[in-house]
Amino acid sequence: MKKILTIAGSDSCGGAGIQADLKAISAQGAYGMSVITAITAQNTQGVFSVEELSKEIIEGQLKAIFDDIKVDGIKVGMLSSKYIIDTVNEQLIKYKGKNIVIDPVMISKSGFNLLRPEAVEALTNLIKIADLVTPNIPEAEVLANMKIETEEDMIEAGKRIKSMGPKNVLIKGGHRMDKPTDILLTEAGEIIKYESKRYETKNTHGTGCTLSSTIASYLGKGYSMEEAVGEGKKYISKAIENSFSIGHGVGPVGHFVELYKKAGVDYE
């Protein structure tokens, strides 16, 4: 069994962050491990507070894992401060992390700022070590310093982000209302488009976390980048189609669709 590590924040309502990552990794038949960078107080209606963990405990978690277990793939999510980003960057270089997928989490769906403004420069430095970086359109606009309205804009933003050093860039197009197309710019210079169906649901909590963790899982299992992204897209589409309402706000996607159905889960 392949071992996949997620480095991210904890979501108390279980729909995103570490919790979503571990569900997604498990659903791909891999073994999930975690390094928690921050604890959030959040539910389906929003993020209410964040408490960051210390440099020492983040380093300690990473050391404990890498000293004992072979890590086949790594997903990096919420890193809210410069010192956390720098710590993760230094440790992943130290331990020669591989199959690194970075989801540059900046703002929650409810509009809560999950990345301090002064940490953006540190994030661009971390991106250099990524095998894949997966920004959505608002995140890509910040990283590329440009407005994105069309597929051509997505490609240009991807090129700008790729020039920062990552091997591959996936611009996620879910925020475009006309067509939710994702665009992969590969290490070899190819531009690959992944068309998606738009499902009529408000329950999309944790989609970015889930997609990036799934891709990291498939890279860890030996799939090519194009194949891993394709598998990730298929899985997240099915999870969104089978999302469900918990709480009064944006509900989670269905990570274990087949298990839920087998257990007779009522999605209503």
Among residues 40, 44, 186, 207, which one is catalytic? Answer: 207
pLDDT of residue 110: 55
Known catalytic membership, residue 209: yes
- Per-residue pLDDT tens over the stretch 74-121: 999 999 899 999 999 999 999 999 999 999 987 766 555 667 777 778
pLDDT of residue 108: 62
- Per-residue pLDDT tens over the stretch 208-223: 999 999 999 999 999 9
pLDDT at residue 171 above 80?
yes
pLDDT at residue 64 above 70?
yes
The percentage of the chain sitting over the pLDDT mark of 70, rounded to a whole number, equals 94
Close Cβ partners of 98 (under 8 Å, ≥ 6 residues apart) = 71, 72, 73, 74, 131
Q: 179: buried, middle or exposed (CB in 10 Å: 19+, 13-18, 0-12)?
A: exposed
How far is residue 159's CA from residue 184's CA, in Å, rounded to a whole number? 10
How far is residue 88's CA from residue 65's CA, in Å, rounded to a whole number? 13
Among residues 14, 15, 73, 206, which one is catalytic? Answer: 206
Domain ranges in the chain?
3-134+203-262
Here the tokens at position 112 are 């809560």
Known catalytic membership, residue 201: no
Known catalytic membership, residue 165: no
Among residues 87, 186, 204, 210, which one is catalytic? Answer: 204
Mean pLDDT, rounded, for 220-234 = 97
Among residues 23, 75, 172, 221, which one is catalytic? Answer: 172
Strands in 31-43's sheet, in edge-to-edge order, are 46-52, 31-43, 3-11, 73-76, 100-102, 132-133, 168-171, 182-185, 191-194
Close Cβ partners of 177 (under 8 Å, ≥ 6 residues apart) = none
pTM: 0.94
Mean pLDDT, rounded, for 167-192 = 88
Q: How far apart are the first and last CA of the chain?
A: 35
Task: Count how many residues are written for the chain.
Answer: 268
pLDDT of residue 105: 83
What confidence category does residue 244 fall into, taking pLDDT thresholds of 50, 70 and 90? confident
Backbone angles phi, psi at 197, to 5 degrees: -85, 140
- Per-residue pLDDT tens over the stretch 14-47: 999 999 999 999 999 999 999 999 999 999 998 9
What confidence category does residue 152 fall into, taking pLDDT thresholds of 50, 70 and 90? very high
Between these two residues, 262 and 77, which has the higher pLDDT value? 77
Among residues 2, 209, 214, 221, which one is catalytic? Answer: 209
pLDDT of residue 82: 92
Buried b (16+ CB within 10 A) or exposed e, 87-122: bbbebbeeeebebbbbbbbbebbeeeebbbeebeeb
pLDDT of residue 57: 98
- Provide the pairing of β-strand 31-43 with 3-11: parallel
How far is residue 90's CA from residue 95's CA, in Å, rounded to a whole number? 9
Known catalytic membership, residue 208: yes
CATH superfamily, with its number, for domain 3-134+203-262: Ribokinase (3.40.1190.20)
